[in-house]
Structures are given as C-alpha cells and as structure tokens.
C-alpha cells in the first residue's frame, strides 16, 4: 500500500467495479482484464527545408529554411475512474503524430500531438518480455513518458557560416521510438482475501460491504478479483477478494500468479479457511507454501487467520478445528466466524481496521520523512 490512499478514494472505484451482477461467466471474464499487450510509437520529427529569401531589391537574401517540428510523445497516466484494462484488448496499436516539416521564411514546423494512454491506478508497465518494470503507477494523476518523439531536423538557415553563405544542406527529422509493452494491473486495497476455492471469501465480502460477487455452492465461483469497502465504527477500508487458489498457484496454476499480484500491495491479509475441511491445518500450510514460493514480501505481510462456516459445523467442532488450525500456524490466534450468520465478523473487521490504520500511519510518516532509515556501518 503506498501513499496513504484513503478508503473514500476507492469507494467510487469499488462501487463502479461491482455495479450490477453480470449475466454470464464469459461476460465477467471479458469485463475485467488485468493485463494487456500494446504497441506504442512516438511521432517522427519533421524535416528541415532548404529555402532562400526571395524579395524585391534584396540581391543576397540568404538561407531562410526553418526547422522541422518535434514528434509527439506517448504517455501513460493513472486515473481514478478506470478499474480494468479491457479497452486495450480491442485497440492494441497507438501512435503519436509526426512533427510538421519546416517552411521558408524561417518558419518552424508544428510539433506533433502527443497521446496519453489512460490506465487504472495500480498499473505496472513492463517491457515486451514482461521482465523489467518500466513504471509503476500507484497514485491517481501519475504520468510517465514511455516513448519520446523524434527531434525535428534543422533547416538550411542553421548551417550558414562566414564561409558558406548559401548552404544547401538540411536535416531529415529524427525517428521516434516504438516498442511493445505490457500493462499489468495490480489492485490497490488495504486488505487482501486469501483462501482455497469455496472457503467463503466472496460470502464474507458481500456480508461486510456493498459488493455483489457471484456466490454459489461450488468451487471457482469467483472468476475475477472483486473490490469492496468495509466499515466498522466510522473506520473504512478496502478489501480485495481474489479467485480461490490451488496448489501450484505460485507457478501459475489456475492463473495463480496473476491473482496473487492483486494482493501484493495490501497492508495485510485475511486468510479464510473452510471449517468443513478434514484437516484445516494442512489446508493452511499448503496456501502458506504458495505465498512463500510466490516471492516478494507476500508471505511476510500481517495476517488474520479465520475459520469460516462455524454455523455449519457447530460450536464444539469449530473449537476443535480452530485448535488444529492454530497448531499448524505455530500457535497463531484463530478467529472463528460464519460469513452467513455474521458470527465473529465484527471482531475480525476491528482487527482488519487496526491493520489498515497502522499501514496508513506508516505511509503518512514515510511521506513526511519521519521514518528514519536504520543505520548500517
């Protein structure tokens, strides 16, 4: 989480992102797109011209060829009112305008118009091979030049010297830059929801926010990430629900690497374990292993561990399952809840709100330079 972005900033994004239930799973996948490959090209510079002043009673007018105009640049800008890269699936080529050629009478050519690609906040720009990050746009209004337009060529007036009074030389415009780039969207949220398929993540999100993810009694109901704004005692924060993970997610199984990227920026994680599992401890350890294999600091984030579906298994079995889960997690506290009945949900929301507030305070202090870097000899 960067820049201390307030939950209110995300309220509009979350509500528009989760507007109305979609008619089919196929349309859901098309509506949300978190990566796209596009071709960009800046404009070539305009060419200079060879021209001489021709005027009555002026015998030796001299050179007056103007320079060519600069080619347009290509920018990428993060904006608030977008939450998907779907537009870049259908239009994949973007080219800025070429600079105009110079003219006589020392007139310079006009510069080519630049273009700006609008992307959601949280978009990373990677090179053609997806290996190097060229830019990471984490705040609304951030704008980066991704391809610079070519310079205009000199007209012959530039080459006049004391020994060459009538130069017949000009420069052509310089070429712009062109390249393929990847746009990769990573949602920005305070809390990330993790769990295996059918653990109850979407039910929890719909219970604590106005989000309306698809909910059904079978695995892989959620096919794309969802955002929701949760509130407890005048404190609000944004929750990101990603599709259920499977073993091998860190290697890309079930598009796991794409989904895990959406919780990378979160302040903390809510790990929901299905209380109906035969061995909830093993389920927890499998998912923790995927986080460690994924890399980055995902496995080191603050975590709230919750055992869900307490209403379905009863209080005694819920306590037994929570004990097994806690032992597997090294004695970590396990919160027992039911996303359907609401049991234990408020207590978890308080814990998540504390986690989000702590991260915002740290971001605020870092922005003001109040956090000192540790001294190293």
Q: What is the pTM of this model?
A: 0.67
* Residue 1, domain member (yes or no): no
Q: What pLDDT is stored for residue 39 in this prediction?
A: 97
Answer for the pair 113, 134: CB distance below 8 angstroms, yes or no: no
Domain of residue 259: give its range: 9-30+188-367
Q: What pLDDT is stored for residue 305 in this prediction?
A: 94
Residue 235 forms beta bridges with which residues?
232
Q: How far apart are CA 257 and CA 294, in angstroms?
A: 7
**Could you tell me the CATH number of the domain that includes residue 168?**
2.70.210.12
Q: What pLDDT is stored for residue 368 in this prediction?
A: 72
Q: How far apart are CA 167 and CA 358, in angstroms?
A: 69
Q: What pLDDT is stored for residue 212 in this prediction?
A: 63
Same domain as 56, residue 107: yes
Written as tens digits, the pLDDT of the chain (377 aa) is 444 444 444 343 444 443 333 333 333 333 567 789 999 999 999 999 999 988 888 777 899 999 999 999 999 999 988 878 888 988 999 999 999 999 999 999 999 999 999 998 889 999 999 889 999 998 899 999 999 999 999 999 999 998 999 999 999 999 999 999 999 888 777 888 888 888 888 888 888 887 665 444 444 444 567 778 888 888 888 888 877 564 544 444 434 455 677 787 788 899 999 988 889 999 889 888 888 887 667 788 889 999 999 998 998 999 999 999 999 999 999 999 999 999 999 999 999 999 888 888 887 777 677 655 555 65
Q: How far apart are CA 308 and CA 203, in angstroms?
A: 10
Count: domains in the chain: 2
Boundary (domain end) residue, out of 134, 157, 185: 185
Taking 3-state DSSP, the helix, strand and coil percentages for the chain, each rounded to the nearest 5, stand at 30, 25, 50
* Residue 4, domain member (yes or no): no
Same domain as 258, residue 177: no
Same domain as 223, residue 135: no
CB atoms within 10 A of CB 370: 9
* Residue 157, domain member (yes or no): yes
Same domain as 215, residue 339: yes
**Could you tell me the CATH number of the domain that includes residue 205?**
3.40.50.300
Q: How far apart are CA 144 and CA 147, in angstroms?
A: 9
User: What does R_g of the chain's alpha carbons equal in angstroms?
Assistant: 28
């Amino acid at each position: 989480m960067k820049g201390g972005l307030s939950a209110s900033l995300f309220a509009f994004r979350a509500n528009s992102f989760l507007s109305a239930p979609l008619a089919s799973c196929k349309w859901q996948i098309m509506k949300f797109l978190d990566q796209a490959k596009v071709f960009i090209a800046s404009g070539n510079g305009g060419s200079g011209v060879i021209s001489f002043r021709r005027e009555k009673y002026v015998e030796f007018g001299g050179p007056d060829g103007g320079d060519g105009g600069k080619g347009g640049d290509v920018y990428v800008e993060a904006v608030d009112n977008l939450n998907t890269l779907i537009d870049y699936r259908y239009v994949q080529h973007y080219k800025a305008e070429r600079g105009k050629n110079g003219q006589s009478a020392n007139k310079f050519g006009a510069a080519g118009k630049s273009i700006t690609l609008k992307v959601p906040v949280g978009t990373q720009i990677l090179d053609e091979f997806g290996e190097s990050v060229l830019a990471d746009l984490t705040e609304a209004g951030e704008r980066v030049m991704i391809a610079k337009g070519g310079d205009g060529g000199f007209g012959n007036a530039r080459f006049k010297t004391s020994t060459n009074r009538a130069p017949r030389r000009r420069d052509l415009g310089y070429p712009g830059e062109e390249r393929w780039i990847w746009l990769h969207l990573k949602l920005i949220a305070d809390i990330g929801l993790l769990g295996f398929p059918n653990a109850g993540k979407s039910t929890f999100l719909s219970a604590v926010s106005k989000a309306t993810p698809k909910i059904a009694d079978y695995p892989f109901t959620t096919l794309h990430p969802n955002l929701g704004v949760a509130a407890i005692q005048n404190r609000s924060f944004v929750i990101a629900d990603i599709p259920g993970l499977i073993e091998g997610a860190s290697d890309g199984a079930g598009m796991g690497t794409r989904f895990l990227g959406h919780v990378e920026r979160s302040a903390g994680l809510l790990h929901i374990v299905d209380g109906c599992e035969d061995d909830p401890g093993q389920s927890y350890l499998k998912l923790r292993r995927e986080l460690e294999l994924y890399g980055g600091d995902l496995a080191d984030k603050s975590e709230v561990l919750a055992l869900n579906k307490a209403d379905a298994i009863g209080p005694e079995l819920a306590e037994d399952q929570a004990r097994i889960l806690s032992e597997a997690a090294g004695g970590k506290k396990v919160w027992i809840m039911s996303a359907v009945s609401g049991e234990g949900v408020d207590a978890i929301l308080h814990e998540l709100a504390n986690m989000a507030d702590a991260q915002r305070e740290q971001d605020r202090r870092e922005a003001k330079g109040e956090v000192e870097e540790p001294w190293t000899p």
